[in-house]
Structure 1
């Protein structure tokens, strides 16, 4: 079972040594997975724990709060993904002013060596760390010679002739190109969370929804989608979903609302995952609720038709 730690300070966590990979891991795309798989492989060969170090919030969210990049993966989903790949210990480090100002050499000495007793460090080809992004592979290798570890970088992973990156995934999500997203992630894109209570307006309009919050992060997509909901039964349930701020009813917080077709049950408190299949349209403001309901009918029928075709393709 994977363990989680948040703090930079503290006693040794891996007395027998460890293999550590470091990165933002937003989305856990094929490039991230290649890095993590390599660290896990080396850890198993050495007989020590595999450790993934990442950050919450992401450094870019900390340094530019007014211009946060869209988040592909929330913290819990990231932890679960790293666990499923084989990571034994996840360091979800609190990225605050203290950590942002930590010199790269101190990061190595106190965290990698002091807390994790690192024997090997694995990073992506362009990874930087420490104050002013001064830390890189060269620094790791130099310090490793005196502190007793080695440092390595994996080669970039390419799909369709271009390097896999979180930026490419965000761009594809923005235009609803979920097939490209699947090629970059190695899986269909989905957002998981625990169902929360909303204003229950959808129920009064004939479209009850399972609602997921996005943790105060900036969503990577917005609009109306044909979706499938996992975690309710043995098979995913076809659905139509809205992800946005609900302008017709004066919503503010981004909310993912999934209406499950031909389903009548209480999902409050349940953890589900909403898989995105196709983009239907932008989120719009309507003059009144009847106009909104008429459009919801059209969206639902379009989603049913698309998902029927998608299911047939998946079974072919």
Structure 2
């Protein structure tokens, strides 16, 4: 069983049974990874598939559509990372009004038991699910005793005395503390995707960019020193803008990476942009010459920061 599924309704997905972990998994930080790896290990021990269940959009996004919370990771990267962690199948269940109305009890019976033949289900600390957040570890354990499965809750994961959470990582990213955010994530914070065509304004200003769409509310906004992965064997130094581009009246968040001393066509390529340091907030300039002058200053500062980081790494 290796698939991506989106619905509670449908046929049986795991006739031989499964081990399931449930969560939002935004960012897939060290706490999430501990949950997923535990579920995968239990699935291997039982000889059944490991399934990760999440929701798309995130429930908090659905209930706060006018002011959605910042998102760390897009769905495509979440699925790829879960699979890389050993998950056999991923359920990104459509979270809409119908899903929001499903009781926790019905979710357990229809999704976990009927479709997935769950033998064990694992959740993170204080995780709730179902209509009015009526499902928790106590309900899972009670229903498991009745329906023949085991339910468990992993312990909170801490690093240097601090509990790891997506909320804390978002706070660190906003504050520009990428080193601490990377510690909690277990890897540098990066955003990946396929390069799309933009308005090509940067090219006319002498700063061609590789553009990635981010159709959610991002946790970041501003100008950054960055590394671009996926173009060459080694990460490539760059300066990136992430936001809505107020000077040119942008709307949807766009990540624009200018690769230093690079000439080539990256359209359609999958790249990752790793964030190293924030240079400044987005700013609306009076005209394009003023914007161009600031872009030169940003590029100079980003080169310096990245050169310093590279020197420290090789020292």
TM-score range, shorter chain: over 0.9
Tell me by how many angstroms 1:314 deviates: 2.5
Equivalence for 1:156: 156
In the alignment, is residue 280 of structure 1 matched against residue 283 of structure 2?
no
Equivalence for 2:118: 118
In the alignment, is residue 265 of structure 1 matched against residue 264 of structure 2?
yes
Equivalence for 1:25: 25
Give matches, 1:228-307, under 5 Å.
Answer: 228-307=227-306
Give matches, 1:83-98, under 5 Å.
Answer: 83-98=83-98
Tell me by how many angstroms 1:163 deviates: 0.8
SS of structure 2 residue aligned to 1:86: coil
Count of residues in correspondence between the two structures:
315
Residues 224 and 283, structure 1, Cα contact 8 Å, conserved in 2: yes
Q: Distance in 1 between matches of 2:177 and 2:283?
A: 20
Tell me by how many angstroms 1:90 deviates: 0.2
Q: Distance in 1 between matches of 2:314 and 2:105?
A: 53
Q: Distance in 2 between matches of 1:314 and 1:225?
A: 19
Equivalence for 1:77: 77
Equivalence for 1:219: 218
Tell me by how many angstroms 1:7 deviates: 1.3
Q: Distance in 2 between matches of 1:245 and 1:64?
A: 20
Equivalence for 1:45: 45
Tell me by how many angstroms 1:264 deviates: 0.5
SS of structure 1 residue aligned to 2:26: coil
Residues 2 and 83, structure 1, Cα contact 8 Å, conserved in 2: no
In the alignment, is residue 196 of structure 1 matched against residue 196 of structure 2?
yes
Q: TM-score when scaled to structure 1?
A: 0.98
Residues 244 and 254, structure 1, Cα contact 8 Å, conserved in 2: yes
Q: Distance in 2 between matches of 1:311 and 1:75?
A: 31
Equivalence for 1:35: 35
Equivalence for 1:61: 61
SS of structure 1 residue aligned to 2:44: helix
- The one-character-per-residue Cα deviations of 1:202-260 (angstroms, maximum 9, x if unpaired) are 00000000001102x10100000000111111111100000011111122221100000
- The one-character-per-residue Cα deviations of 1:91-119 (angstroms, maximum 9, x if unpaired) are 01000111100011100000000100000
- The one-character-per-residue Cα deviations of 1:102-158 (angstroms, maximum 9, x if unpaired) are 011100000000100000000001100110101110110111011110000000001
Q: Distance in 2 between matches of 1:63 and 1:71?
A: 14
SS of structure 1 residue aligned to 2:272: strand
Residues 102 and 130, structure 1, Cα contact 8 Å, conserved in 2: yes
SS of structure 1 residue aligned to 2:107: helix
Tell me by how many angstroms 1:2 deviates: 4.2
Equivalence for 1:139: 139
CA RMSD of aligned residues (A): 0.9
Tell me by how many angstroms 1:315 deviates: 2.8
- The one-character-per-residue Cα deviations of 1:154-175 (angstroms, maximum 9, x if unpaired) are 0000122121000100000001
Show structure 2 runs of 5+ residues with no match: none
SS of structure 2 residue aligned to 1:67: coil
Q: Distance in 2 between matches of 1:192 and 1:2?
A: 23
